[in-house]
Amino acid sequence: MEAHILVVDDDPAIRELIREYLAENDFKVSVAETGGDMDRVLGAEVVDLVILDLKLPDEDGLAIARRLRESLDLPIIILTGRKDEADRVMGLELGADDYVTKPFSQRELLARIKAVLRRTESKREARRGESVRAYLFSNWELNTGTRRLKAPAGEMVDLTNSEYALLVAFLRSPQRVLTRDQLLEASRLHDDIYDRSIDVQILRLRRKIEESPNQPNLIKTERGAGYYLNSSVETK
């Protein structure tokens, strides 16, 4: 699933420059001019990282960084024209994950974004899992609140805890091959379950969602590597 970056900067040229460059590199990008605009985006979207200018028209950037860290624990890269070392130190002490001064290299900013996302990947996945109300795939719908699966024809399909956890692991990484070890980790199944038990769980899941479990179209086997979900996924 692509990462969602929120750029908060009062300079429209900077916002557009970053938006276009990150979009070209397969990121979803939203932009905001003020702290209030930022809050509206955060209230409506699942955001994975905030690029934050310190000088905004309605609220001090350091104050925003403080409340983002306290309320959402979002990764933050501070982007500012301020070169004062005291500001940089204070920003990092408030919990910013990195600090970039203007003018900046787009390639360097991209590298820093990727580095921060790698360091915070586990938190990002947990935050996305908590925020998603439902996954939609191949006319199926998995409700994360009730843990019920609705088939394309409308009937409800009951899932065991392990089947649900395994399906969510696939839905979080659609069309990506996952090894047995990755599936054990992603689905948070107990450590004392042998990796081959994943094969059994996948067979049981296939019996519930595949028209022909012996010739699966949704959960495919990549011989010698693992399994992958052969479907695009939307969330709501």
143-171 pLDDT, tens digit per residue, is: 887 778 999 999 999 888 778 889 988 99
Q: CA-to-CA distance for 99 and 92, rounded, in angstroms?
A: 8
SS3 19: helix
Fold match flag (4-128 vs 133-235): no
168 or 138, which is more confident? 138
Inter-residue contact 50 to 77 (CB < 8 Å)? yes
Of 76-80, 139-143, 144-148, least confident by mean pLDDT is 144-148
Residue-wise pLDDT for 83-101, tens only, equals 666 666 666 666 688 888 8
pLDDT at 92: 66
Q: Where are the domains of the chain?
A: 4-128, 133-235
The chain-wide mean pLDDT, for the chain, equals 85
Residue-wise pLDDT for 28-48, tens only, equals 999 999 998 998 888 777 788
Q: How confident is the model at residue 2 (pLDDT cuts 50, 70, 90)?
A: confident
Most confident of 54-63, 72-81, 158-167, 210-219: 210-219
Q: How many residues are given for the chain?
A: 236
Per the structure block, which two tokens stand in for 170? 């696939």
CATH class given for the domain over 133-235: mainly alpha
pLDDT at 202: 93
Q: CA-to-CA distance for 82 and 61, rounded, in angstroms?
A: 11
Inter-residue contact 107 to 146 (CB < 8 Å)? no
Residue-wise pLDDT for 12-32, tens only, equals 999 999 999 999 999 999 999
Q: How confident is the model at residue 52 (pLDDT cuts 50, 70, 90)?
A: very high
Its CATH architecture, for the domain 4-128, is 3-Layer(aba) Sandwich (3.40)
pTM reported for the whole predicted model: 0.55
